[in-house]
Amino acid sequence: MWLLFGAVTMFGPFRYAFRVVIRKGDLRITDARGGVHRFGDGTGRRSAVRVTDRWTEIKIAIDPWLAIGEAYMDGRLVVEEGDFYRFMAILLSNAEEVPLPKWTWMLVLSRWLVRRIDQFNPISRARRNAAAHYDIEPEIYRMFLDSDQQYSCAYFVNSDVDLETAQITKKRHLTAKLLVRPGDKVLDIGCGWGGLGIYFARVTGGDITGITLSKEQLKIARERAREVPRPDRISFKLEDYRETKGQFDKIVSVGMFEHVGVHHYRTFFRRMSDLLNKDGIALLHTIGRAPGPSPTNPFIKRYIFPGGSLPALSEIMPAIEASGLCVCDIEILRLHYAETLRHWRERFLSHWDEAVRLKGEKFCRMWEFYLAGSEASFRYQGLVVFQIQLAHEQTAVPLTRDYMGDEEARLAQCERFGKEKKVAETGGSRRKARHRG
């Protein structure tokens, strides 16, 4: 180890690390001594950064996953040309094709070894983890989310669609897959600030129960629910999914499964199975890893989502199979979250001064790293979104996927024209329809 430390110090961390990885793009790094290093083939827009001290250079060379984020957050990595996203895009697009230097593999192995310890997530710890991210000043989220405060992947029919439209389309898409009808009892696991549940109540006439572990989210969700024409249709609770009781016709979980923890996947789907009526439909919407299982990024784990983990499909499916539920449909949203994060990042940066006054410069650089790094990861590191439709019975949904488009068209009409009245006209009375294969 000391020989490695000496080698990195003697030859410079960038010659020892960046030159190995950066093969394409135009990256210029100024080291702590004023030396200028150029990497890549000179194509594309240039990114230029400066590292302020020698120790930071060494830490970046040894543990880039953690040290780059910390250095930017602390002001020891300074962007001099381009923006921080451009820097991360060059790094991660190259790392997609060229592995990091072999000396970093020991850190990867060590993080694999402690992964299951990190992911142990009993109810008490799950509450603390949720509070760490979600129970901050709500103004921060209002700066970059859409007006409905959807804190999950939007659905872009094309790249020209604005964020507001894409988030409405996402809610419509989810609702179409669930086939929610008037009077259906719907459980929203991880309801956030209540936007999806309120959409269900307004547009479908369902009876909604939303659960969250965030006190701030619960407070806002309950305030918003009072504005719904039939507030008796909506109930929001501070509750873990392991504590929920009752039976539901439809169950949805959007952007919450990432907090469950690998130890608890089987418990999650067993609970979903127990709570779902025999002819009901459930839908899981979660970030996932297309290339396979991997430890959580150490910066994200330490500063953004403690206890979080992004599952691979190979980790999810055995847990579903053990629950007795059957998979009716899987949709992979590839670059939708990259576009969502681009909007969030641009919106957050447009409120930078306001955010600095509220939380300070260090927090804002931390948040920018989170948004920029996540966007680049969805573009270049194989992160995707899984939408997995589940049921007890194969006849719970129609044989082909054509019904989704029909449902989306019907819901769009409900949104536009007299929502409550239109539901009654187009949805009919609640019924337990059988869909023949």
As given in the structure block, the two tokens for residue 79 are: 């962007």
Question: pLDDT tens for residues 103-140?
Answer: 566 666 666 566 667 777 788 988 998 999 999 999 99
On the CB side of 357, how many CA atoms lie within 13 Å of its CA? Answer: 5
| 3-class state of residue 35 by DSSP | coil
Give yes or no for a contact between 269 and 322, defined as CB atoms under 8 angstroms apart: yes
Indicate whether 418 pLDDT > 60: no
Question: pLDDT tens for residues 142-190?
Answer: 999 999 999 999 999 988 999 999 999 999 999 999 999 999 999 999 9
Distance CA 113, CA 338 (A): 30
Indicate whether 78 pLDDT > 50: yes
Indicate whether 347 pLDDT > 50: yes
Handedness of CA 239, 241, 242, 247 (dihedral sign): positive
Distance CA 34, CA 39 (A): 16
On the CB side of 201, how many CA atoms lie within 13 Å of its CA? Answer: 24
Average pLDDT score, the chain: 89
Distance CA 355, CA 364 (A): 7
Distance CA 90, CA 79 (A): 13
Distance CA 146, CA 346 (A): 12
Comparison of pLDDT for 342 and 110, the residue scoring more:
342
Hey, which residues does 287 pair with through a beta bridge?
A: 385
What are the boundaries of each domain within the chain? Answer: 2-113, 123-427
pLDDT of residue 101: 56
Indicate whether 424 pLDDT > 70: no
Comparison of pLDDT for 1 and 266, the residue scoring more:
266
pLDDT of residue 9: 43
Indicate whether 98 pLDDT > 60: no
Instruction: Write phi, then psi, for 49 (nearest 5 degrees).
Output: -130, 160
Q: Which residues of 168-198 are buried (b: 16+ CB within 10 A; e: fewer)?
A: bbbbbbbbbbbbbbbebbbbbbbbbbbbbbb
Which residues, at least 6 apart from 104, have a Cβ–Cβ distance to it below 8 Å?
62, 63, 64
pLDDT of residue 433: 45
Give yes or no for a contact between 150 and 171, defined as CB atoms under 8 angstroms apart: yes
Average pLDDT, integer, range 391-412: 95
Q: If you write DSSP's letter for every residue of 15-72 in order, what string do you get?
A: IIIIHHH--SS-EEEE-TTS-EEEES-S-SS-EEEEE--HHHHHHHHH-HHHHHHHHH
pLDDT of residue 395: 95
Distance CA 383, CA 377 (A): 6
Average pLDDT, integer, range 351-374: 98
Indicate whether 96 pLDDT > 70: no
Give yes or no for a contact between 396 and 280, defined as CB atoms under 8 angstroms apart: yes
DSSP H helical ranges for 183-278: 195-199, 215-225, 265-275
pLDDT of residue 421: 46
Question: pLDDT tens for residues 1-38?
Answer: 333 444 444 345 556 678 888 999 999 999 999 999 99
**Listed range (196-200, 264-268, 274-278, 422-426) with the worst mean pLDDT:** 422-426
**Listed range (90-104, 198-212, 258-272, 332-346) with the worst mean pLDDT:** 90-104
| 3-class state of residue 203 by DSSP | helix
On the CB side of 356, how many CA atoms lie within 13 Å of its CA? Answer: 9
Hey, which residues does 323 pair with through a beta bridge?
A: none
Question: pLDDT tens for residues 189-202?
Answer: 999 999 999 999 99
Beta strands in 357-427 (DSSP E): 383-391
Question: pLDDT tens for residues 228-253?
Answer: 888 889 999 999 999 999 999 999 99
pLDDT of residue 113: 62
| 3-class state of residue 389 by DSSP | strand
Q: Which of 224, 219, 90, 38 is nearest to 147 (CA)?
A: 224
Give yes or no for a contact between 121 and 51, defined as CB atoms under 8 angstroms apart: no
As given in the structure block, the two tokens for residue 316 are: 């999810």
Give the other-Cβ count within 10 Å of 117's Cβ. Answer: 8
Comparison of pLDDT for 252 and 102, the residue scoring more:
252
pLDDT of residue 186: 98
Indicate whether 373 pLDDT > 80: yes
123-427 CATH fold: Rossmann fold (3.40.50)
Could you tell me what percent of the chain has a pLDDT over 70?
86
Give yes or no for a contact between 233 and 208, defined as CB atoms under 8 angstroms apart: yes
As given in the structure block, the two tokens for residue 266 are: 């089987």
Strands 77-81 and 47-51: antiparallel
Amino acid at 404: M
- pTM for this model (two decimals): 0.90
Distance CA 378, CA 48 (A): 23
Distance CA 377, CA 287 (A): 12
Which residues, at least 6 apart from 6, have a Cβ–Cβ distance to it below 8 Å?
none
CATH code for the domain defined by 2-113: 3.30.1050
Distance CA 376, CA 341 (A): 9
pLDDT of residue 97: 57
Give the other-Cβ count within 10 Å of 20's Cβ. Answer: 16
Comparison of pLDDT for 433 and 263, the residue scoring more:
263
pLDDT of residue 17: 77
pLDDT of residue 229: 83
Question: pLDDT tens for residues 287-324?
Answer: 999 999 988 889 999 999 998 999 999 999 999 999 99
| Structure confidence at residue 427 as a pLDDT band (50, 70, 90) | very low
pLDDT of residue 108: 66
Total number of residues shown for the chain = 437
Give yes or no for a contact between 34 and 338, defined as CB atoms under 8 angstroms apart: no
